[in-house]
Amino acid sequence: MKPLLRIAAALAMVSALGGCVAEEVWAPDTFVSAANYRPTGPATLTLMTMVSNRDGRGGHSALMIDGAERVLFDPAGSWYHPMIPERNDVLYGMTPQFLQFYTDYHARETYHIVVQELEVSPETAASLIAAVQAHGAVPPARCSLSISRVLGDTPGFEAITANWFPIRTMEQFGRLDGVRESRIYDTDADDNLELLQAQARAELSRQIAAAVAAGN
C-alpha cells in the first residue's frame, strides 16, 4: 500500500473508532435523589422496541425497570429532557408524564413502539437495576447488544442471547412466559426537535404553576 493510502486508511480507522466512543454523563447525587420515582404495582420489566413503519426493522431498544425505583436504560438513546437526570444511559425520575414524553418522541410517522411488559420478582428487578447502573455508557448502535447482554446474564433470562438487532431481542423477550405486548403509534413528523423543546417548556410551566399554587 502506498504511504498516502496507508495514512488515509489509518485516518479513516481513527475516525470510525472515534464514532464508537460512548458519551459519559453523570448527574449529581442531589439531582438523582430529587427525581426518584417509584411506581405502584409489582416489579416489572418493560422492553420498548422502536420499529420502522416502512420495512419493519428495529431502530432502537430501551429497557425500563420498575422495582424499588424506576429506571430507564436507554443505551445510546437520543431522547433528552433537562429535568430528567442521566447517569451513563440510565435515566431516573421517569414519571408517567415523562414516560409519555419519551414515547411521544419515538412514536412518529416512520416508527411505532412495541411495548413488552413482564412481571418479575423484586429481587430480579433489583439485580437488573444494579446491572444497568454498573454497565457504563453505551456507544452508538449498541442498544440491543447492551440490553440483551444484561438480560442474558440475569437468572431466568438465559434464553436471550447477546445480539446487535432490536427485533431479535424483542422476539426473544416475547417468547418468555407472561409477557404482555402492546403497540404505540403516532403520526408526528420525523423532525422532533420542536417536540423536545415543547416537552421541556410544558414541564417547566407545570412546575412553575405548582410552585405558585404552593406559595413558593
User: Helix, strand, coil % (nearest 5) of the chain?
Assistant: 40, 20, 40
pLDDT of residue 111: 97
Please tell me whether residue 130 adopts helix, strand or coil conformation. Answer: helix
State how far the Cα of 9 lies from the Cα of 104, in Å rounded to an integer.
41
Nearest in space to 199 (alpha carbons), one of 74, 94, 70, 46? 94
DSSP state of 94: -
pLDDT of residue 190: 82
- Average pLDDT per consecutive 10 residues, the chain (216 residues; last block may be shorter): 40 40 91 97 98 97 98 96 96 97 95 98 98 97 98 97 98 98 93 69 62 62
Beta bridge partners of 111: 52, 108
- Which residues are within 8 A (CB) of 117 and not within 5 positions of it... i.e. 6 or more apart? 44, 45, 46, 179, 180, 181, 182
Strand positions, DSSP E, the chain: 44-52, 58-66, 70-73, 86-87, 90-92, 111-119, 180-184
pLDDT of residue 89: 98
Beta bridge partners of 108: 111
pLDDT of residue 77: 96
State how far the Cα of 147 lies from the Cα of 158, in Å rounded to an integer.
13
pLDDT of residue 5: 39
Give CA angle at 81 (122, 183), nearest 5°. 60
Which ranges constitute the DSSP H helices of 73-165? Answer: 96-106, 122-135, 143-152
Give CA angle at 17 (144, 89), nearest 5°. 40
| Distances 170 to 51, 147, 152 between C-alpha atoms, Å | 10, 10, 13
pLDDT of residue 20: 57
pTM: predicted TM-score of the whole model, two decimal places: 0.84
